[in-house]
Amino acid sequence: MPELPEVETIRRQLAPHVEGRTIRRLEILDPRWTLPLAPDEVVDAVQGRTIERLGRRGKYFIFELADDVFLLVHLRMTGNLLLDPAPDTPYQRVLFDLDDGQVVRFCDPRRFGTGELAIGDDALQAFFAGKLGIEPLGDELDGATLRALARGRRAPVKAFLLDQRHVAGVGNIYADEALFRARIHPLRPVGTLKAAQYDALAQAVKDVLAAGIDAGGSTIDDFRHPDGVSGAFQNDFLVHLRRDEPCHNCGTAIRKLVAAGRGTYVCESCQPRPRVRRRP
């Protein structure tokens, strides 16, 4: 699934081409994309409006349109926004025909991606309330904030990071990489971390997301830039997808286990497994 670095990479590359442009025609080829709204409702609200800004919140794109209309696009597992691809590009679900002749196509083999509407700023804030936590790239994320969010929680720290209600945009890849950098085992109960570990984890999340953006995101299966180019951060993974390969720090073989229902990669020398407390 594309995570924050992949979404931000697309946003940065696509924004100069779409901001200030009018959506001359919006063609929704797959009605599932707009559920529970009917495609005609979304077309009526969006078509003919100017894209004033292309923003991002967590893993959502926010097409900020004229008159406080917001189109919220989520790629989910396999979605891509492609700029001027070939007309016969496979898996097309939505077509944005812009007034300068450029075309943005939403392509999605597994059809999980979504497009949703918010009319007015209050509706936009209500849409994200309860869905998304703090943005990790700004000043909101620090050790003290993580500690406050985690207080009293027994969930594994990996599950805590994947829960978008805490920190928005972090998914499986970047959680693995951040936990390795912070030297924290993914199964450690998040509420038991020390203050220094919260500080290290907050910084590691910021660092790994920034590195992912600098590398243009990670392409493992379907992710592509708007021009069709693949990301490169997968070449820099320290643990993710490196099962049985030696740790770059200590040489111990990377293990794969399951945390929060997801395949998880860890060096159990650099990231010591939490001790199991036995009852007397």
Residues 27 and 121 in one domain: yes
Confidence at residue 224, expressed as pLDDT on a 0 to 100 scale:
63
For the chain, how many structural domains are there in total? 2
274 inside domain: no
159 and 123 in a single domain? The answer is no
11 counts as catalytic: no
| Catalytic one of 3, 6, 8, 64 | 3
Query: Going residue by residue through the chain (280 aa), what tens digit of pLDDT does each one get?
Result: 688 999 999 999 999 999 999 999 999 999 999 999 999 999 999 999 999 999 999 999 999 999 999 999 999 989 999 999 999 999 999 999 999 999 999 999 999 999 999 999 999 999 999 899 999 998 999 999 999 999 999 999 999 999 999 999 999 999 999 999 999 999 999 999 999 999 999 999 999 999 999 888 876 666 566 766 666 777 889 999 999 999 999 999 999 999 989 999 999 999 999 986 655 5
Burial bucket for residue 268 (CB in 10 Å: 0-12, 13-18, 19+): middle
Task: For residue 52, indicate whether it is catalytic.
Answer: no
Q: Return left, alpha or beta for 210; rule: phi > 0 is left, psi -120 to 50 is alpha, else beta.
A: alpha
Q: Do 203 and 103 have their domain in common?
A: no
Q: What one-character-per-residue DSSP string does 170-201 give?
A: --HHHHHHHHHHHT--TTSBGGG--HHHHHHH
HSE-up (13 A, CA, CB side) for residue 101: 0
pLDDT of residue 233: 77
Cα–Cα distance measured from residue 17 to residue 74, given in angstroms and rounded to the nearest whole number: 19
Q: Determine the straight-line distance between the first and last CA of the chain, rounded to whole angstroms.
A: 44
Assign residue 121 the CATH number of its domain: 3.20.190.10
Which residues, listed in sequence order, are joined to residue 27 by a DSSP beta bridge? Answer: 95
Residue 9's φ and ψ, nearest 5 degrees, are: -60, -50
Alpha carbons 162 and 211: distance in angstroms, whole number: 19
If asked whether residues 33 and 114 sit together in one domain, one would say: yes
The amino acid at residue 130 is G
| 179/239 Cα distance (integer angstroms) | 10
- Do residues 178 and 205 touch, judged by C-beta distance below 8 A? yes
Q: Tell me: do 124 and 147 sit in the same domain.
A: no
Pair 87, 12 in one domain? yes
In a domain, 69, yes or no: yes
Instruction: Tell me the residue type at 199.
Output: D
Among the listed residues 25, 76, 262, 274, the single catalytic one is 262
Examine the fold and report which residue of 128, 152, 172 is the final residue of a domain before the chain moves on: 128
Catalytic residue among 56, 59, 147, 181: 59
Distances (CA, A) of 183 to 177, 196, 207: 10, 11, 14
Based on the residue annotation, tell me whether 90 is a catalytic residue of this protein: no
Question: Domain check: are 73 and 12 in the same one?
Answer: yes
**Could you give the 3-state DSSP secondary structure of residue 242?**
coil
Q: Which of 245, 242, 258, 252 is nearest to 177 (CA)?
A: 242
Q: Do both 20 and 123 map to the same domain?
A: yes
Rounded to an integer, what distance in angstroms lies between the CA atom of residue 167 and that of residue 45?
A: 31
- The reply to whether 49 and 151 lie within a common domain is no
Measured at the CA of 193, the angle between CA 187 and CA 194, to 5 degrees, comes to 155
Residue 273: inside a domain, yes or no? no
Measure the CA–CA gap between 48 and 54, rounded to whole angstroms.
16
Identify the domain boundary among 81, 96, 128: 128
* Residue at 276 is within a domain: no
Cα–Cα distance measured from residue 205 to residue 20, given in angstroms and rounded to the nearest whole number: 33
- For the question of residue 3 being annotated catalytic, the response is yes
Q: Is residue 185 part of a domain?
A: yes
CA–CA dist 39, 35 (Å, integer):
8
Residue 135 in domain = no
In a domain, 167, yes or no: yes
Whether the Cβ atoms of residue 208 and residue 238 lie closer than 8 Å to each other: no
Domain that holds residue 106: 4-128
Query: Residue 219's pLDDT is what?
Result: 66
Q: What is the CATH number of the domain that holds 237?
A: 1.10.8.50
Over residues 8-38, the pLDDT tens digits come to: 999 999 999 999 999 999 999 999 999 999 9
Strand pairing partners for 103? 97
Q: Which of 2, 5, 156, 226 is catalytic?
A: 2
pLDDT at 229: 62
pLDDT digits (tens, 9 = 90+) for 127-140: 999 899 999 998 99
